[in-house]
Structure 1
Amino acid sequence: MAENHRTLVILVHGTYASGAPWTKSNSPLCVYINSALCGGADFEAFEWSGENSHSARMRAGEGLGDFLVTSIEKYKPKDTYVIAHSHGGNVALYALGHLGSHSISGLVTMGTPFVFCRKRGIEFPLIVTRRIFSLVSSVLVLAVGGRNLDVFLGVSFVPMESFWHPFWAVVVFGLIYYCTYLAWKWTSESIGRLGVALLRRQEQVVSAVSLPQFCETDVFVADVLGDEAGAWLSVLFNVGEVAHKASSVLNSILIKFLEIIFIAFVVGGLMYGEDGAADFASYSIIALLFLGGISIFLHIPMVVLPFFVRAHKLGFGEDSLLSNWLCEIRASSLPKETTLRSLEIFRFFPKGSGLRHSSFYQSEALFQKVAEWIHARRSCSGDPSDEFRPKSGR
């Protein structure tokens, strides 16, 4: 049987664009590519929910993988290309991560905000949290068990007639110190276990959301100057990062003053007696809880007002506050986290009015560039098809 030299092109729409006209075989994009390839192209449109969420895109990636296998088995083409718009490009990369990028000849993305996910440094907040709760628990034990801290702070401000026998003073001091140590150890170990759980969750989020690390296929990235979607996602991300950055600054202040607060607490007791110690204990705990509360409160708007604050809610999907706190989820105009076999970038300025994010499937300059790129891949593979024939402009 003669070898099939036809090209299969799979078209993937973007967010909220199910049934997009440009994915039809009679669309200007498809007609141009088919004409340029001398009528040797077959087109199939992959439909997915189009929901704006990581989970929807990952499910669509699995579905696209199965769709590719079925379509390739059906057409038995010489080569296969995927053309995707907007978040459809992420769906295609997820599919290649499941299926293996060697299964297609190339990927064309149009205005795709390539998602990438990085771990946030949560060790520092955990250290701050551990020190705050350890200090608070220790001070509470000392304050409750030390008879207004008489034993702990020494006999310098305690009337001799009220002081216990030295032996019992040592015993009581030892018990208080031991209880303080247990409180500190329990708090420290609890925060440590919480840290392990959070790190595990962080790994799960990064593994699930990140695009495949390696993609051994050729990729053509089309980008329009002044893309509204890219600018919108950038604004949303920066707004959503305000709470994280403010919390980081606050944590830096907290960790620097924790030791100072504890020293001031002890010195205050030694200088001003038991009343001074009690006051310093109260003020220290209140100050720590207040600052820690502010650090937590900074993230509350992400939950209460997700429509206005949580960048990932509007831009990327339904991820929880915990996932956003653990990981930095954002988008880039290039797949910077994925190693590609080759990458070609085409940026253009759209003509006419209308949304620039929708101008990709209306630009003949882009149609010709994509057709040339596909034809060049076919030529490199030894395809004996006719010479490339660009369609004349209208």
Structure 2
Amino acid sequence: MTKETRPLVVILVHGTWAKEATWAQEKEALSNALERIEGVKIVRFNWSSWNRFTTRRKAAQELAEVIKEHRNADQFIIAHSHGGNIALASLKEDESLVKGVICLNTPFFTVLSRDNKFFLNYLFGIILLMPTFILFGLWISCNWHWLTLFAGGILNLPFIPLFIWFTDTWVPKHTAFLRKQLELPVLKNTPVLCLTTPDDEAFGWLGLLESISNIPRLLTAQWIIIVYISITSLLLIAGILPIIAVPWEPWLTSCEKPDNIFATYMLFFLSLNYYIYFSYLVCGIATMPFSLLLQGISQGTWMLPFAGVLHRIVISLVPVGSNSIEFFEKDVAGTGIKHSLLYKDPETIKFIIDWINRQRGV
């Protein structure tokens, strides 16, 4: 069968929360235009449309099976919104079965690597600080000897090998796994047409979620941590040296609380330092849901809440890395949200039909 006589199959993929979307049904503008192409077969791919990462991954696997069923045809995928991410993910194993992908208002996920060294040091510092702070508080309030402060440091020693294992082995392994699950495949040969509208509400919303989910990372810039650690170290040394110079007897379990300004100073400083760490931790935990909302509430991998910590998930207008991309932005008039106007626009529909014919060489 020659290239010109190969049958044409167009697969329509709806987006999130749009099961059996109207635009993909019969007698709608896009379907009517496609049906005027001689010998075309329209396949309407319906998935559950839930905004979950695992749901979209499952849908991509099912779409890949649909594509294999029509391997002897010229296949094109027209997808709206997150349907575009599903379409690209379905081509992870074999992109050669599809001649082109058309994405309407699709917010593509791009997963960028992060240097987690300083973030992990900062986060782990909270854990190391807690027993020291608690023991020092007991000394001040219960008249325990200042040796408890030193004991707090000793108690932290077992955390060191655990921290080394955590940062050198566990984190890289699970970070690589998570990225593999999240990132879209890079299409080397399949053309991708990306059409969008200005001021798309979905891009604005997802961009806001992305910014919020990155708030904890803004506080872990290398220079901020170096300056903060330097200042706190100097203050700690300045406060603790006069205290350890006070005579003490190692065999005593307690003694009178030192009645001097240094004890007050140390309690205030450690309290302030502790609450800074604690506030940062609360901020990090509080913003995790935004990372979940960005990628979709997930089931099946507990690592996804940490996606915004271990990676930076960016929303882009095109699938980054793919070799053959065409991008057009068109301002479409009409009522309703701008995110759902392109597939109704006559000029856009004509452009899509012409693009399909051009890819087929017709």
Query: TM-score normalized by structure 1?
Result: 0.74
Q: Which runs of 5 or more structure 1 residues have no equivalent in the other structure?
A: 153-175, 380-384, 386-394
RMSD, matched Cα:
3.3
Contact 1:110 1:221 in 2 (8 A): yes
Contact 1:86 1:109 in 2 (8 A): yes
Contact 1:33 1:368 in 2 (8 A): no
**By how many angstroms is 1:243 displaced?**
4.3
User: Relative to structure 1, is the Cα distance of residues 105 and 22 closer, same or farther in structure 2, using a 3 angstrom cutoff?
Assistant: same
Matches within 5 A, 1:1-394: 4-35=5-36, 37=37, 39-72=38-71, 76-77=72-73, 79-97=74-92, 99-131=93-125, 148=146, 183-195=155-167, 196-246=169-219, 251=225, 254-269=228-243, 275=258, 278-279=263-264, 282-302=267-287, 306=289, 310=290, 312-313=292-293, 315-319=294-298, 320-336=304-320, 338-340=321-323, 342-379=324-361
Larger displacement relative to structure 2 (53-62 or 261-270):
261-270
Partner of 1:369, secondary structure, is helix
Partner of 2:75, secondary structure, is strand
**By how many angstroms is 1:207 displaced?**
1.1
**By how many angstroms is 1:186 displaced?**
1.7
User: Relative to structure 1, is the Cα distance of residues 181 and 49 closer, same or farther in structure 2, using a 3 angstrom cutoff?
Assistant: same
* Counterpart amino acid of residue 312 in structure 2: E
**By how many angstroms is 1:133 displaced?**
5.1
**By how many angstroms is 1:247 displaced?**
6.3
Aligned positions, number: 337
**By how many angstroms is 1:363 displaced?**
1.0
State the Cα deviation string for residues 230-274 of structure 1 (Å, max 9, x = none). 122222322333344356697565423332133213433367777
**By how many angstroms is 1:118 displaced?**
2.4
**By how many angstroms is 1:324 displaced?**
2.8
CA–CA distance in structure 1, aligned partners of residues 6 and 124 of structure 2: 65
CA–CA distance in structure 1, aligned partners of residues 172 and 2 of structure 2: 56
CA–CA distance in structure 1, aligned partners of residues 88 and 336 of structure 2: 28
Contact 1:130 1:188 in 2 (8 A): no
Could you say which structure has the larger radius of gyration? 1
State the Cα deviation string for residues 107-129 of structure 1 (Å, max 9, x = none). 11000000122234321022234
More helix by share: 1
State the Cα deviation string for residues 10-45 of structure 1 (Å, max 9, x = none). 11111111111222354321322342x4x2321111
**By how many angstroms is 1:348 displaced?**
1.0
CA–CA distance in structure 2, aligned partners of residues 296 and 134 of structure 1: 13
CA–CA distance in structure 2, aligned partners of residues 301 and 43 of structure 1: 45
Partner of 1:345, secondary structure, is strand
CA–CA distance in structure 1, aligned partners of residues 23 and 322 of structure 2: 29
* Counterpart amino acid of residue 112 in structure 1: T
Q: Which runs of 5 or more structure 2 residues have no equivalent in the other structure?
A: 249-257, 299-303
Contact 2:192 2:326 in 1 (8 A): yes
* Counterpart amino acid of residue 8 in structure 1: V
Partner of 2:214, secondary structure, is helix
* Counterpart amino acid of residue 44 in structure 1: V
User: Relative to structure 1, is the Cα distance of residues 217 and 375 closer, same or farther in structure 2, using a 3 angstrom cutoff?
Assistant: same
Partner of 2:50, secondary structure, is coil
Contact 1:105 1:377 in 2 (8 A): yes
* Counterpart amino acid of residue 314 in structure 2: R
Contact 2:126 2:278 in 1 (8 A): no
